[in-house]
A and B are shown apart, each in its own frame.
Chain A
């Protein structure tokens, strides 16, 4: 049993994942506006919050939450649109007829988006510390590892959701359905404890709640990855479920 599972795993080794990651990076870098959006949007949002809440501490409280929110938002949306285009322009069909495995494709997308989302994380952290003068505890590498788990879930969710969209407009319409409710319900702006009971229950099943909690603990309280283990486990679970959904729906569009 174990040996057969291992041999399948060996055969399914994503040996071409770097090729795909490289292509995604090249495609996004060529698209100057998207690159600008990835860098500029978080800085504008952070500055606006810093200016509109002059009270001490508001930005400290919101910045960690924004790290998670923006990683989720960009990875989800850009993966979704990239995948949609793979399907609509027919390249998915080529990939599926090639020797690539599904794992190659999913892991390739993950690596590609790790690079962008972690660069974004780094920019936000540096900006909040050096420009906005916010003080943080916690190590950058722990923030990165935590973010990698968040991004993994977001990329897989993007792949899965892209099967329900026929064009870019429809993909964008998933933002108010999937991203915005999480921004309001997961403690990004106001604490979950101040919301009515039934909304608190709802926030308990949304992944961003755990991402926000974990990053706040690391950055504001200087906790480590083991301290935020329970949040991490929930997020790994979310990543696992979405990767199964992504793997199941991956072929769609290539064979329809």
Chain B
């Protein structure tokens, strides 16, 4: 997937500013930046919820539209679930709207993803009876049930305890091993370290991209952490401005 000089404004404020990005297939790609850096806006542009004011976006070779929608999975920042419905019925609903018509295959796949997120014993419970972390897992299950080759996860690890965070990264690694491309936004460097490639974002721009190691080495200090690297690029960006 590729973005070419994409811009988007909210009420005159540049949320995404002449941003170019290329994401190779089969990896996890981290969008890192503070709140308000434009990560969510960028994801909304890529899933086709927003249209760029200028520039172009290509998803698997095509502009995002309803025709490419079945190729992507999207986990928004909110849990975005029907709280009265059970875990099963939530996942089933999203499986159906993503065109999984064959009942037998659909049910197999629903079972597979509910087991993957370790909620099989709770499948009949309404979502409103689940804890925050469990809702997050249902939300992930809804986004991946149709096995999309391209997956957008908007701050998927926010509010998770450290143990569950590790579990989530196990899921993500399993998905990339199956060939999926993951685009994950986050503001924690803990998530960043897990990604194959990263883009540091600030004020609607990408200020640096590369693998976690490359970004660390760019600071010129061997002991630098990703946090150090992020601060280094922010200072450099301020110096340029």
CB-based contact B97/A255 at 8 Å: no
B109-145: CB near A (< 8 Å → 1, else 0) gives 0000000000000000010000000000000001000
- Interchain nearest-CB distance for A56 vs B (Å): 45
Contacts of A19 in B (CB 8 A): 93, 96-97
Residue of A nearest to B66 (CB): A99
Tell me, yes or no, whether A31 is within 8 Å of chain B by CB.
yes
B12-48: CB near A (< 8 Å → 1, else 0) gives 0000000000000000000000000000000010011
Contacts of B97 in A (CB 8 A): 16, 19-20, 95, 98-100, 104
Contacts of B48 in A (CB 8 A): 97
Tell me, yes or no, whether B49 is within 8 Å of chain A by CB.
yes
Tell me, yes or no, whether A166 is within 8 Å of chain B by CB.
no
- Interchain nearest-CB distance for A21 vs B (Å): 11
Residue of A nearest to B101 (CB): A15
> With A and B bound together, what is the CA distance between A89 and B98 in angstroms?
20
> With A and B bound together, what is the CA distance between A23 and B90 in angstroms?
9
> With A and B bound together, what is the CA distance between A16 and B96 in angstroms?
8
CB-based contact B126/A30 at 8 Å: yes
A7-35: CB near B (< 8 Å → 1, else 0) gives 00000000010011001001100110000
Which stretch from B71-79, B168-176, B201-209, B218-226 is at the chain A interface?
Answer: B71-79
> With A and B bound together, what is the CA distance between A16 and B84 in angstroms?
21
CB-based contact A27/B85 at 8 Å: yes
**Set A26, A90, A104: member contacting B76, Cβ < 8 A:** A90
**Set A23, A26, A93, A100: member contacting B80, Cβ < 8 A:** A93
Residue of A nearest to B93 (CB): A23
**Set B44, B85, B96: member contacting A30, Cβ < 8 A:** B85
Tell me, yes or no, whether A245 is within 8 Å of chain B by CB.
no
- Interchain nearest-CB distance for B11 vs A (Å): 10
CB-based contact A97/B72 at 8 Å: yes
Contacts of A96 in B (CB 8 A): 49
28 interchain pairs, CB-CB under 8 A: A16-B96, A19-B97, A23-B89, A26-B85, A26-B89, A27-B82, A31-B84, A89-B79, A89-B83, A90-B78, A90-B79, A90-B80, A91-B80, A91-B81, A93-B49, A93-B76, A93-B80, A94-B80, A95-B97, A96-B49, A98-B69, A98-B70, A98-B97, A99-B67, A99-B70, A99-B98, A100-B97, A104-B97
